[in-house]
Structure formats: structure tokens, C-alpha cells
Amino acid sequence: MGSILKIEKVSKVYTSGESSLKVLDDVNFDIEAGDIISIVGPSGSGKTTLLGLCAGLDKFTEGEVVLCGKVLSAMSEDECASLRNEKVGFVFQNFQLIPTLTAIENVMIPLELQGKRAYDKAVELLDRVGLPDRMHHYPSQLSGGEQQRVSIARAFINEPEILFADEPTGNLDDNTGSRIEALLFELNKEKNTTLVLVTHDLELAGKTSRIIKLRGGKVISDSSQMQAV
């Protein structure tokens, strides 16, 4: 199978006033469609920043990202937004649910934006993440773990080719975490969804086919390259 995400010599510098901070430095990797990979590293090592760049949510300073065959630097904001809406799922570290919409309304958004029927699918996904009785609650009425599961359901509703998930099990107890982990792996099998997971959970990382370790914005190891040597 072909490459679904290629990151070439990517760096990211945040500047504010006089000071600038290089948070990603010459990052390179290539992910095959259908793969499950994890990105691990200490707090502040650049994991969330990297995920945002890969998904076209944020701009990189140098280098190139090719996502689902599209060269991101050559795309307009609108083209990038359509690509995300049609082919990409994203689970944010802080969920980013819309506070004025109920759980099910939040889950339906990506499909509704495409003018497609969303209700039945949203019900099914909320059931699969274990929230059949919380569908009509607002985010403020849900626990952190419940909000996280709503955001996972939302990320899957457009049947993305690639799903980026930032700490998808970070706020969950062991049981719920295992259930979500199982769901991610099931959806990978069922739909061949490529999964890119940021996690602090080394047990979860150990179950993925490839582990990329970041430190101080650099890739310090990539298990696929270790195998190749």
C-alpha cells in the first residue's frame, strides 16, 4: 500500500515579539496507509504541534507535508479544510467540543458539513464509545472521559482515511481506556483507517506497529528504521 502521510524536513518555529522557539526540528517520516503508529515523548517535546501540522490544522515553518496525496503547502485554507473534512479525523487533547451543542449534535457536525445524513451514524458511534444514554447532554454536563469519547465518535463519523488522536485514552480509567483502544483497532481493521496516536501510555504504544519517539522537537528513534538497520 502507498504512503498516506509523508513529512519531509519539517520544522516549526513559534515567534512572539523578539523571541522565537523551535519546537520541531527536521522531522522526517513516511506512513503507509492502514498502519497504526504511535508518537511518544516527554511533555513539551512537540507531539501535539506535530499532529496539528500533519493534519493541516497548523502551518509549518520549513519542509513539506504530503497528506492523502496532497501537498499541503500548495493548498489554500479552504482546500485544506475540505481535505480535512472528507478524509481526516482528529481527536484533540482538549476535545474541542462545541459547548452549545449536545453530544450527538457535536458528533454529527462533520457529516452535516458535507450535507449528508448523520443522525443514525452518530447514534451508532455514541453507542460504540459507550455513551448511548448521554447523547442529549451538553459537554458541560459530561465528565472529561465522556467528552473525550464524544470527540472520538465525532472523529470517526466521516469514515476518515487517517485518524489523528492526541492522547485518546489520556482521561479514561483502565476499563474505558481498553474499550476505546479496542474500538480504534477495530475501526482500523474494518475500514483500514490509518491511525496516528500520540500517547503517554507505553502499553498502548507497544501494541502499535511503529513507535516514533520525539524529544526536544527531534525524532530520536523510529522503530521502523531500527528494523531496517
Ligand X SMILES: Nc1ncnc2c1ncn2[C@@H]1O[C@H](COP(=O)(O)OP(=O)(O)OP(=O)(O)O)[C@@H](O)[C@H]1O
**Interface positions with ligand X (CB under 6 A):** 14, 21, 23, 41, 43-49, 93
CB of 41 to ligand X, least distance (A): 6
Among ligand X, Mg ion, none, residue 6 binds (CB under 5-8 Å by kind):
none
Is the CB of residue 191 less than 8 Å from the CB of residue 36? no
Residue number of the CB closest to Mg ion reads 48
Query: Tell me, what amino acid is at 104?
Result: I
Q: Which helix (H) or strand (E) holds 65?
A: strand 62-67
Cα(156)–Cα(190) distance, integer angstroms: 12
CB of 16 to ligand X, least distance (A): 6
Q: For ligand X, which is the closer residue by CB, 63 or 101?
A: 63
Cell reading at 227: 528494523
Q: For ligand X, which is the closer residue by CB, 46 or 139?
A: 46
Total number of residues shown for the chain: 229
Q: Is residue 48 at the binding interface for Mg ion, with CB under 5 A as the rule?
A: yes
Q: For Mg ion, which is the closer residue by CB, 93 or 209?
A: 93
Q: For Mg ion, which is the closer residue by CB, 156 or 164?
A: 164
Q: For ligand X, which is the closer residue by CB, 34 or 52?
A: 52
Letters for 90-109 (x = contact with Mg ion by CB under 5 A, - = none) are ---x----------------
CB of 24 to Mg ion, least distance (A): 13
Among Mg ion, ligand X, none, residue 125 binds (CB under 5-8 Å by kind):
none
Cα(103)–Cα(222) distance, integer angstroms: 37
The DSSP result for 94-159, as a single string, is T----TTS-HHHHHHHHHHHTT---HHHHHHHHHHTT-TT-TT--GGGS-HHHHHHHHHHHHHTT-
Dihedral pair phi/psi, residue 124, rounded to 5°: -60, -45
- Give the residues lining the site for Mg ion (CB under 5 A): 47-48, 93
